[in-house]
Structure 1
Amino acid sequence: MVFFNRMFMRLSSNYFFYFALLGLISPYLSVFLDGQGFSSRQVGEILAFITATKIVAPSLWATLADKTAKPLLIIRCGALLALLSFCLLYWFSLPEVNAYWFAQYSTSLYWPITLCLACFMLFWTAILPQLEVHTLNSLKQSSKIYARVRLWGSLGFIVLAVIAGEVTTVVGSQAFPGLGVITLALLFSCTLLLSAKKTIRLTKTKATIAIIDKLTEWRFIRFFIAGLLLQVSFAPYYGFFALFLRDLNYSGLAIGLVISLGVVAEVIAFIFMGVLFKRFSLTTLLVFSLAITALRWFLMPVVADSLLGLAIIQLAHAASFAIYHSASMRFISSHFTVMQQSRGQAIYLGGVYGIGGAIGAYITGLLWLEGQGADNAFIIAGISALLATFIMAFNKRQWR
């Protein structure tokens, strides 16, 4: 029992600091880039560039993990290299370095900072898939215990989102790289506490090769396009939401709490997904999530001046992310064979989150106009989610 408690704490701490970093990056990266003097268009370009690494990174790391059969080594290398990338970002963001660089080259640190963030994203994406594999193997596939471990990830997101909001208000955007370095150092330290587990190499069979037929089925193409449009619609929220609230004169603490409220709604939705799966078809859940998301983006500019209205809108994150993500994972699980699951996940997540996220970030950067075009950006996001709703709704056959 003592061993199990120790293992639970080690696994939970890794999830806590991994998602704590997400609680820093997702809301506040745009605030940091804005503080470096980049325009909205440049911020959108940087976000698009680093998001595009998700297209190839999941498959790259999954292949490496399969060939080495050492997921724990991949986790530790990913955490260490991500930490080094963020240390370099911290150095480039120092005012004296920025001033020296401009004096020497008569240009900003646009490309050095972009490359630091791209390297960080490339290495950071190596951690979670292998951590999931390691955790499930360690817990012997116990979904109940896994849910408790995963909950610490959501808590980490909430804690750092709130702390970063307050620290950014007091110290300024310069706090971003420092908080990132500290969080990544703690994450890397926690990966060193994990115990290696035996992994089983799977031999290739015909079933592992013949995946193209699954990818070209109309039901998957429809599902893929809808997911891509959803990720395009999320770009103003994931990339510019903290800037949006800051321009509306919300405090750093209020921004952190508003963002955290969405995560709380997400956690509650995950808890009740079992009940929803029993009562509704996958098609119904997907269409509902997309429709609520479209409504959420259309209403965002309308209610953003009211903290209460904003809080209510944030509850929609339960449908926008939790319900849609859970239904998507169930669809992929049913669509692909057991031997195709890893590649099916990598292709879907890399394509949807990589391509969709990059396109959305670039378009939002063009529309944002230093905050003057924020309303238009959210309207376009709403249209994208609404189009995804129509694509998924006109489905002749209900997916179970």
Structure 2
Amino acid sequence: MTIFNHHKATPLVFFNVMFVRLSSNYFFYFALLGLISPYLAIFLDGQGFSSRQVGEILAIITATKIVAPSLWATLADITAKPLLIIRLGALLALVSFSLLYWFTQYWPITFCLALFTLFWTAILPQLEVHTLNTIKHSSKIYARVRLWGSLGFIVLAVVAGEAMSALGHQAFTTLGVITLVCLLISTLFLTAREPVKSVNKNANEPAPILDKILDGRFICFFIAGLLLQVSFAPYYGFFALFLRDLQYSGLTVGLIISLGVVAEVIAFIYMGTLFKHFSLNTLLVFSLGITAVRWFMIPVVADSVVWLSIIQLGHAASFAIYHSASMKFISSHFTKVQQSRGQGIYLGGVYGVGGAIGAYLTGVLWLDGQGADNTFIMAGASALIGAIIMIFTKNKSIIPI
């Protein structure tokens, strides 16, 4: 009887260990995002750069995401060692980010951040593929693993807001280095799974993945995602700076940003239920529509903490629902041997091209805060166009659940 119980318990224990290992990687990866996304603009502003220069830097470093994910995915296919790519990316990202301690000028800082982003982008696509293969593409389990990334974002967003308010913009670099060290350590505990190894057997088959990329459903999905990332640029790049200029305290800024991620966490928990009742197309259209409303409303209610908080709840749709639906689309649209490249193409194109365009437009329109209203209107229009595109793809039945 003891032996029987031991064998029954082993899979559960193994799953718990794997869950902790996967969740910790998401926690530290997105904790770093919780530092960079809201506070990089404040760090650069503290270095004396104008909003246009900040926008240019954000555009340049975001542009590295256009090519880098696909390059790293190809390297993972060739080497058949995706975990090595994850660990190498974490190590080199740590080294390049640490260089910010010694540089203060425009081009050296831009180079350090671009180099950091180049290596950082090696991590997420391979981590997503590794996670989906490990959990056997379970939407419910993926959502619960991924929510730890949101928790990491919340923790560092709050801590960084207060730290940078009390210690100055240089606290940004120290917090980033500490988080990257933790991320590197957490990657060392990941273990390879058989599905990951099988990805590379037929990696050199360009025709099948080309057909999937040229599929009308994927093109509409890709364009809508790109427009969503364009719309997110003012929020990711300048929202914390926007709130600081409105005289909100560092702690308040961190809490307002974190509130959106709290809503995101709740949405991740219930994604399994949402997938049962709504098609992917419905979820994508809803997310884009809510996002458009968020950006249109921010300039109107910026002086009200209550209204800003309410608007932040929309992040549950803007990110959690959209991201989960997107990952399910990609997982379903591409075959097992195409998953790494599919992730690379999506992240590189949508986050790279969309993010770079959005960052540059934001830098041009922001005008050191004078053009904030017009910038958020541009963002709202971009998300709205994305929603319209997805509405017109409804009849094409984008992988119903």
The TM-score normalised by the length of structure 1 is 0.89
How many Å separate the matches in 1 of 2:172 and 2:351?
A: 24
How many Å separate the matches in 1 of 2:84 and 2:346?
A: 25
- Is contact 1:208–1:340 with CA below 8 Å preserved after alignment? no
Shift of 1:142: 6.2
C-alpha spacing 1:192/1:340, structure 2 compared with 1 (3 Å)? closer
Match of residue 96, structure 2, among 85, 100, 104: 85
- Is contact 1:231–1:352 with CA below 8 Å preserved after alignment? yes
1:13 and 2:24 are equivalent in the alignment? yes
Could you say which residue in structure 2 is the equivalent of 1:129? 125
Could you say which residue in structure 2 is the equivalent of 1:101? none
Match of residue 378, structure 1, among 351, 356, 376: 376
Structure 1, 331-340 or 30-39: larger mean CA deviation: 331-340
Shift of 1:125: 1.1
Secondary structure (helix, strand or coil) at the match of 1:20 reads helix
Could you say which residue in structure 2 is the equivalent of 1:57? 68
Shift of 1:197: 5.0
Structure 1, 300-309 or 147-156: larger mean CA deviation: 147-156
Could you say which residue in structure 1 is the equivalent of 2:389? 391
Could you say which residue in structure 1 is the equivalent of 2:321? 323
Could you say which residue in structure 2 is the equivalent of 1:104? none
- Is contact 1:57–1:125 with CA below 8 Å preserved after alignment? yes
Secondary structure (helix, strand or coil) at the match of 2:102 reads helix
1:341 and 2:339 are equivalent in the alignment? yes
The aligned runs of 1:169-248 (5 Å cut-off) are 169-195=165-191, 199-201=196-198, 202-204=200-202, 209-248=207-246
How many Å separate the matches in 2 of 1:192 and 1:210?
A: 34
Secondary structure (helix, strand or coil) at the match of 1:204 reads coil
C-alpha spacing 1:321/1:150, structure 2 compared with 1 (3 Å)? closer
- Is contact 1:229–1:356 with CA below 8 Å preserved after alignment? yes
C-alpha spacing 1:137/1:379, structure 2 compared with 1 (3 Å)? closer
Could you say which residue in structure 1 is the equivalent of 2:269? 271
C-alpha spacing 1:306/1:30, structure 2 compared with 1 (3 Å)? same
C-alpha spacing 1:190/1:349, structure 2 compared with 1 (3 Å)? closer
How many Å separate the matches in 2 of 1:253 and 1:164?
A: 9
How many Å separate the matches in 1 of 2:61 and 2:314?
A: 27
- Is contact 1:208–1:339 with CA below 8 Å preserved after alignment? no
**1:173-198, Cα deviation, whole Å (9 max, x unpaired):** 11111111111122222333444556
1:312 and 2:310 are equivalent in the alignment? yes
- Is contact 1:286–1:324 with CA below 8 Å preserved after alignment? yes
- Is contact 2:298–2:376 with CA below 8 Å preserved after alignment? yes
Which one-letter code corresponds to 2:299 in the other structure?
Answer: P
C-alpha spacing 1:379/1:197, structure 2 compared with 1 (3 Å)? same
The TM-score normalised by the length of structure 2 is 0.89
How many Å separate the matches in 2 of 1:209 and 1:76?
A: 30
Shift of 1:388: 1.6
Unaligned segments of structure 2, at least 5 residues? 1-9
Could you say which residue in structure 2 is the equivalent of 1:160? 156
C-alpha spacing 1:20/1:387, structure 2 compared with 1 (3 Å)? same
Secondary structure (helix, strand or coil) at the match of 1:67 reads helix
Shift of 1:143: 5.8
How many Å separate the matches in 1 of 2:107 and 2:120?
A: 19
Give the share of equivalent positions with the same residue, in percent.
76
